[in-house]
Amino acid sequence: MRTELDDEMVEAALGDLDTADLPEPTVVALQLADELTGDQPTLDEAFFRRLQAHFTDGQILELGAALAVASGWQRFIEAFAIRPDEERELRQLD
């Protein structure tokens, strides 16, 4: 299932996914990332059917788990103001 992305595909993924020149499974996976990282993640039945058209239930679970870890890690480093290229101690919470 792994596919290499070239620079043009990465640029397309950063734009409007509805018009991006990307393979449909890639678009659906990126839209899932958008849905799961929103303030109140919800998936309607139509979107779930789109996922199932391209991925098995196991693959959907793997995508969701990977997105949950990545999103959680991003929120963690933002909350503690961690900058990857800087060595510094974690911010002390009051």
68 lies in some domain = yes
92 lies in some domain = no
Task: Provide the whole-model pTM.
Answer: 0.70
75 lies in some domain = yes
Please tell me the predicted confidence (pLDDT) of residue 59. 97
Residue-range definition of the domain harbouring residue 57: 23-36+43-82
**Interval 14-25: pLDDT, tens:** 778 888 888 999
Please tell me the predicted confidence (pLDDT) of residue 4. 72
12 lies in some domain = no
How far, in Å, CA of 92 to CA of 77, rounded? 13
49: amino acid identity, one letter: R
Report whether 51 contacts 64 (CB < 8 A).
no
7 lies in some domain = no
- How many domains is the chain partitioned into structurally? 1
**Interval 29-88: pLDDT, tens:** 999 998 988 888 889 999 999 999 999 999 999 999 999 999 899 889 889 888 766 555
How far, in Å, CA of 25 to CA of 49, rounded? 12
48 lies in some domain = yes
